[in-house]
Amino acid sequence: MTRDTFDAWAIPGSVEVPGATSTSLGPEFSIRSLSIESHWLNRLADILIKGSSRLKKRKVADLAQILGIAGSRFLKEGDPLRTKALELLPRASGLSAPMARAVLDGMAADWVEDRLCGLLSNEFGTSNALDGFVKQNGCQTMAIGADLCVQIVSGSVPGVGVTALIRSLLTKAPTLLKPGQGDVVLPVLFMQALAVIDQDLAENVAVLYWSGGSSDLERGVLDRASVVTTYGGDESVESIRALTPVTKRFVAYHHRISVGVVGSQALTSGLVEQTARNVARAVAVFDQRGCVSPRSIYVESGGDITPEAFAGYLASALEALEDDLPGGGLELEEAAALHQVRGAAELLAASGSPGGIYHGGRASWTVIFDPDSELRCNHVGRVVRMEPIENLSDLIKRLSPYKEHLQSVGVAGVEANLEELAEELGRIGVSRIAKFLELPFPPSPWHHDGGSPLRDLVHWVDLEEIGD
Amino acid sequence: MTDISSTRASPIGKVSEELDVLAGELEMHFAQDFKSCWSDLEFEELALRAFNAQFQHNPVYRRFCEGRNAVPTVVKSWGNVPMVPTTAFRYLDLVTGDHSSVRMVFRTSGTTSTTLASGRHLVSRPSLYHAALLSNFREYLLPDVEKIKFVSLIPSPAELPHSSLSYMVGVAADTMSSETHWFVNGEGVLNSIGLRNVLNDAALQGEKVLLLGTAFALVHWLDELAGEELRRLPPGSRIMETGGFKAQTRDITKDQLYKSLSTTVGLEPHRIVNEYGMTELLSQLYESNLTQPNEIQAGHTPPPWLRVRALNPTTLEPVAENETGLLAFFDLANLGSVCHVLTEDVGRVIGGKVHLEGRFPGAEPRGCSRAMDELMASSRVTRR
């Protein structure tokens, strides 16, 4: 690796390394990725599959410990890997340096041993179903991980790839990971950490970047996989799904959006500033790129502070955050979209619509108060919409159209009837309700998009009572 | 075209004479002064008068400008006139002058694939629009002949009354065609047999044609022909192609399309002229290869009443010549709405010409070409 070029791959030592090509990710940084051809990739997949039976013999507690040791290096101040990650992340992902640090801290918190053990026990109870047969409801059962888990991630949220990788390794599945272009750094560094501790385990993983939509390339490995997971927009998930044979277990994390709800109880004059700070932080982390990022905030009327006034508080909080967690730079295309949405919001306000807009000029943060739900906007940078609601049932009505894509709901000031609200939200597709401060980083055992992060990756074999 | 004059009351009342006077002057300039080079000073003067009129007679735009403290007494050059984003046409009517005088409404695609509203451009002065589009069309597509046979793969304005592209071709055909054939209907279905016959007859009779189509329609047609070469079109024939190259059937580069078209109908690639336009701008920009055949792909030339700048995406300050930026247009033909428009398109400006580098339809379908693309794509489902 040279100063400005990052080699975006980690493959088993027994595989020869083909040539590589560079992709520029900005004026000072480029990633090199391997020039992959189908036959090479297929052979790599076959090698990974071959290692599966060896991997299956390992104890899951042992894997959790080793993965945890590798993961915890990213949290240890002064560890060369953490230092390298902090140096590379802003350039590779476009996040500002303080933001990249916050994202790394938040993501890596889940990569340590006790969190991984917590995840395992949440998914499989105290049993060791991944290590052998366990008694369940009078019968014996065992969870078997894939012979090859292919994980295709698109998107630019750093850390998603490592989390995906850890999950499949915990199920003892050899893994081929294609991280998103903005997320190549962490999986490769993680594999470097793993190789130092346990070369044998590292041999079960390949991390490779290629540009998405290379169906010839993808078809071969999808044929060989027994479990396929994809993370990305609907279009990319759809294209991978179309290439995946029907017999494969397919886990899709398609496009998701999250929103926030601020009840009137959080809008007293004593609480409003703290509420605004918490909402602002959820908006700021990931610069609204995450599926957990709240794109729209629904604010209940009737509190001391009106929803319209709360938009101003949120704007001030976002402005203040620029000091601690500055927003990252925008791609040309994103900057174009930002000007469009700001200008359209200003014109709508000028036309007598009841809405309004606050924005940070060159900083991307933008609060659009949009009571009539008039604006459709791309969420580029820290753009957040705000809509007033009369009461919480109004919220369900407004969110229903987005049912297919809803994920998390950040809440403040809705403590009364919380369970009732949560159930109603669940019925329209929401899979997580959390405090704004917790919104960016779900706890590791969460039901990711309503599913089970580990159990979705295994199949069960039931051994019934045999004989007399 | 839709007459909506009876449905809206005027919010302003009497439209000032000033606006009418300026419209009259511009119409005359558009029709007569294409060749003469409009000096920066002349353009500046007209642009500031247009801004003043729009500030006075477009209350939404006025409040927008006031919000930015960019009012006529402060703004001394057209570059500082507040820009409206193209997206704003999706939410607002943006009419300058009396709403009751609106005569036509053009729409961008309101597609099934998104939840976005379609953009709209309300036009009060068809004659001003005609003057702009006709002299520009003549300059870049028919500089050498009075009339020509129009063979259109763009649906007729009768079929697509809200398409500014169809309307433009219709108006041009009214004055410049010896004969007009429309081969794509309002549902986007191509009559390929009719098209083949007409081209064949023209070839046999040595009659020059102007073939017009969106990139998507042309690709679709070439796909149907599957490599078959038709009779060579007579020398002097030409093609107007418009629209992006992210065709929905398959990806194809502009070079590939031109090469394939040129082989199919036996025309030199430099006889193919790309038109760049959008519903939000009433002027179009053309490549100048018919008049300057040595300058193939030397960019799109704006008509003299339109100025284009590439802007820094963060600051919106102009970038240096030949540097990439967001494209912004000051189009005097937009007198009836707002002249200064900020797009999401990206390109470089060299010697006043635009070199397009990309349109970002990723966000949303836009422009008439895209609307047409989607029509044709959806028609395929039901076609034989």
Lowest mean pLDDT among A167-181, A227-241, B10-24, B215-229: B10-24
What is the reported pLDDT for B369? 41
| Pairing between β-strand B272-276 and β-strand B285-287 as defined by DSSP bridges | antiparallel
> How close does chain B come to A280, measured CA to CA in Å?
22
Is pLDDT of B114 > 50? no
In angstroms, rounded to a whole number, what is the distance separating the alpha carbons of residues B300 and B286?
Answer: 5
Q: What percent of chain A has pLDDT over 90?
A: 81
Is pLDDT of B245 > 60? no
Is pLDDT of B246 > 60? no
Q: Which residue of B lies nearest to A343 if distances are taken between CA atoms?
A: B85
**Chain B neighbours among A 10-69 (CB < 8 Å)?**
none
Name the phi and psi angles at A291, rounded to 5. Answer: -70, -20
Lowest mean pLDDT among A47-61, A241-255, A452-466, B281-295: B281-295
Is pLDDT of B295 > 50? yes
B362: which chain A residues are within 8 Å (Cβ-Cβ)? 333
In angstroms, rounded to a whole number, what is the distance separating the alpha carbons of residues A404 and A238?
Answer: 14
Find, among A407, A124, A424, A46, the residue nearest to A252 by Cα: A407
Backbone region of residue A194 per phi and psi (left: phi > 0; alpha: psi in -120 to 50; beta: other values):
alpha
The alpha carbon dihedral of A282, A286, A291, A295 has a sign of positive
Q: What is the mean pLDDT of residues A442-467?
A: 93
Q: pLDDT tens-digit profile of A389-406?
A: 998 889 999 999 999 999
The 3-state DSSP class for residue A455 equals helix
Closest partner residue to A344 (CB to CB) among B87, B343, B362 is B87
Name the phi and psi angles at B107, rounded to 5. Answer: -125, 145
What is the reported pLDDT for B377? 53
B360: which chain A residues are within 8 Å (Cβ-Cβ)? 333, 336-337
DSSP 8-state secondary structure symbol assigned to residue A36: -
B4 class by beta-carbon count within 10 Å (0-12 exposed, 13-18 middle, 19+ buried): middle
Instruction: Tell me the average pLDDT of chain A.
Output: 93
User: Please, which pLDDT band fits residue B244 given cuts at 50, 70 and 90?
Assistant: low
Query: Is A362 near chain B, with CB under 8 Å?
Result: yes
Q: What percent of chain A has pLDDT over 70?
A: 98
What does the block give as tokens for A95? Answer: 């996040």
Closest partner residue to B92 (CB to CB) among A340, A351, A376 is A351
What does the block give as tokens for A169? Answer: 């390794």
In angstroms, rounded to a whole number, what is the distance separating the alpha carbons of residues A122 and B346?
Answer: 50
What is the reported pLDDT for A273? 97
Pick from A295, A340, A402 the residue to mutate for testing the B interface (most B CBs within 10 Å).
Answer: A340
What is the reported pLDDT for B18? 86
Q: What is the mean pLDDT of residues A71-83?
A: 97
Q: pLDDT tens-digit profile of B66-88?
A: 999 999 999 999 999 999 999 99
Is pLDDT of A407 > 80? yes
Lowest mean pLDDT among A197-201, B82-86, B106-110, B167-171: B106-110
**ipTM entry:** 0.85
Is pLDDT of A459 > 90? yes
C-beta neighbour count of A230 within 10 angstroms: 23
User: Please, which pLDDT band fits residue A3 given cuts at 50, 70 and 90?
Assistant: low
Spell out a b/e string for B246-256, using b for 16 or more CB atoms within 10 Å of the CB, else e: ebeeeebebee
User: Please, which pLDDT band fits residue B113 given cuts at 50, 70 and 90?
Assistant: very low
What is the reported pLDDT for A250? 97
Question: What domains, with CATH codes, occur in chain A?
Answer: 5-255+449-463 (3.40.605.10), 257-430 (3.40.309.10)
Lowest mean pLDDT among A32-46, A263-277, B354-368: B354-368
- CA-based radius of gyration for chain B: 20
Is pLDDT of B381 > 50? no
In angstroms, rounded to a whole number, what is the distance separating the alpha carbons of residues A193 and A174?
Answer: 17
Distance of CA B200 to the CA centre of its chain: 29
More confident residue, A233 or A97: A97
Q: pLDDT tens-digit profile of A315-358?
A: 999 999 999 999 998 988 889 999 999 999 999 999 988 889 99
Q: How many helices (H) and strands (E) does chain A have?
A: 16, 19
What does the block give as tokens for A37? Answer: 């051809």
What does the block give as tokens for A203? Answer: 């041999």
In angstroms, rounded to a whole number, what is the distance separating the alpha carbons of residues A136 and B157?
Answer: 71
Q: What is the mean pLDDT of residues A199-218?
A: 91
Residue A398 half-sphere exposure, CB side, CA atoms within 13 Å? 23
> How close does chain B come to A308, measured CA to CA in Å?
18
Lowest mean pLDDT among A179-193, A299-313, B348-362: B348-362
Is pLDDT of B259 > 90? yes
Lowest mean pLDDT among A74-78, A181-185, A280-284, B166-170: A181-185
Find, among A53, A379, A32, A68, the residue nearest to A208 by Cα: A32
Q: What is the mean pLDDT of residues A67-81?
A: 98
Lowest mean pLDDT among A313-327, B28-42, B88-102: B28-42
Is pLDDT of B179 > 90? yes
Is pLDDT of B15 > 90? no
3-state DSSP helix/strand/coil % of chain A, to nearest 5: 45, 20, 35
Pick from B91, B93, B111, B327 the residue to mutate for testing the A interface (most A CBs within 10 Å).
Answer: B91
CA distances from A150 to A80, A362, A438, A446 (A): 29, 40, 30, 22
A347 class by beta-carbon count within 10 Å (0-12 exposed, 13-18 middle, 19+ buried): buried
What is the reported pLDDT for B252? 76
For every residue of A66-78, DSSP letters joined together read HHHHHHHTTTSTT
Amino acid at B137: F
Is pLDDT of A188 > 90? yes
What is the reported pLDDT for B109? 64
In angstroms, rounded to a whole number, what is the distance separating the alpha carbons of residues B65 and B71?
Answer: 6
Q: Which residue of B lies nearest to A331 if distances are taken between CA atoms?
A: B313
Cβ contact A161:A183 at 8 Å: yes
Question: pTM, whole model, 2 decimals?
Answer: 0.88
Q: What is the mean pLDDT of residues A96-123?
A: 96
In angstroms, rounded to a whole number, what is the distance separating the alpha carbons of residues A350 and A352?
Answer: 5
What is the reported pLDDT for B297? 58
Q: Which residue of B lies nearest to A376 if distances are taken between CA atoms?
A: B116
Interface touch A347/B61, C-beta < 8 Å: yes
Pick from B64, B71, B87, B118 the residue to mutate for testing the A interface (most A CBs within 10 Å).
Answer: B87
Is pLDDT of B237 > 50? yes
Interface touch B360/A340, C-beta < 8 Å: no
Q: What is the mean pLDDT of residues A450-458?
A: 96
Instruction: Tell me the average pLDDT of chain B.
Output: 85
Q: Which residue of B lies nearest to A337 if distances are taken between CA atoms?
A: B344
Is pLDDT of B128 > 80? yes
Closest partner residue to B85 (CB to CB) among A332, A335, A339 is A339
